[in-house]
Homo-oligomer: A and B are copies of this chain.
Amino acid sequence: MFGTILEDAVTGVKGAVAAILMGFDGIPVDTFQVANSEEDIETIGMEFSVLLKEVKKAAEALETGLATEMSVQTDAMSIVLRIISDEYFLAIAIRNNGNLGKARYLLRIAAPKINEALTE
């Protein structure tokens, strides 16, 4: 179930190589990775889970509304992280020729579906 949603997100975005559904405790629920990709999406997810928690706190401190998403660009790749609930988030890794806007869109659409499945 989750694997299909992650696969749809990755295959639907030009340049996307991997996606993960992870708890804020850094424990992965499910992942999808394209063949021949070297990106370690579990380590990426774990590293950014800590930062995403800090972003949630910063948004609360600044009273700018609840944080929903964070994205990071580097020389080589983009990572989009979408908060699903207090416990879970989605992350997708995209090589830098990829379509960041579509990744954001697909994660936004996927988040409520996954949240529903998680709480069933």
Which residues of chain A (47-93) have a CB below 8 Å from chain B?
A: 47-48, 50-51, 54-55, 58-59, 61-62, 64-77, 79
By the criterion CB–CB under 8 Å, are B64 and A74 in contact?
yes
Give every chain B residue within 8 A of A72 (Cβ-Cβ): 55, 58-59, 67, 69-70
Give every chain B residue within 8 A of A75 (Cβ-Cβ): 65-66, 68
Interface centre among A74, A76, A101 (most CB of B within 10 A): A74
Q: Count contacts on A: residues with CB < 8 A to the other chain.
A: 30
By the criterion CB–CB under 8 Å, are A70 and B68 in contact?
no
Number of copies: 2
By the criterion CB–CB under 8 Å, are A70 and B71 in contact?
yes
Which A residues lie at the B interface, using CB under 8 A?
39-40, 43-44, 47-48, 50-51, 54-55, 58-59, 61-62, 64-77, 79, 101
Give every chain B residue within 8 A of A64 (Cβ-Cβ): 39, 44, 74, 76-77, 79
